[in-house]
């Protein structure tokens, strides 16, 4: 199953606020379109929010991602949690065996 690692550097002083908004808004909206979220963590020392997202079909990943951004839930996020993100990184990761 494809797994994406997302690393967000949050604007100074807003890590806890972002974590709350992510938990209340982003996570449920992502799960509603079919993604699963195995975990999320904050890194207070660096002001980062790190999370993993999975979807069973790599070929359909981009379509599901568009479905998330086009969803009523995502469009209704006001204020937009992305306002608190200073830098965003995302990588597909593979297990080490």
The domain defined by 3-93 folds into: Alpha-Beta Plaits (3.30.70)
DSSP string, 13-57: T-HHHHHHHIIIIIHHHHHHTT-EEEEEEEETTTTEEEEEEE-S-
Q: What is the pLDDT of residues 39-96, one digit of tens each?
A: 999 999 999 999 999 999 999 999 999 999 999 999 999 999 999 999 999 999 999 9
Start-to-end CA span in the chain (Å): 15
- Find out whether 64 and 37 touch, Cβ atoms under 8 Å: no
- pTM of structure: 0.93
Given the structure tokens 């209340």, which residue do they identify?
24
Token reading at 19: 């974590």
């Amino acid at each position: 199953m494809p797994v994406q690692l997302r690393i967000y550097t949050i604007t100074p002083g807003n890590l806890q606020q972002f974590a709350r908004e992510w938990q209340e808004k982003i996570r449920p909206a992502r799960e509603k379109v079919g993604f699963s979220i195995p975990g999320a963590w904050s890194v207070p020392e660096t002001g980062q929010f790190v999370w993993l997202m999975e979807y069973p079909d790599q070929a359909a990943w981009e379509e599901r991602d568009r479905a998330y951004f086009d969803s009523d839930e995502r469009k209704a996020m006001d204020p937009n949690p992305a306002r608190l993100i200073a830098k965003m990184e995302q990588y597909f990761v593979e297990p080490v065996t």
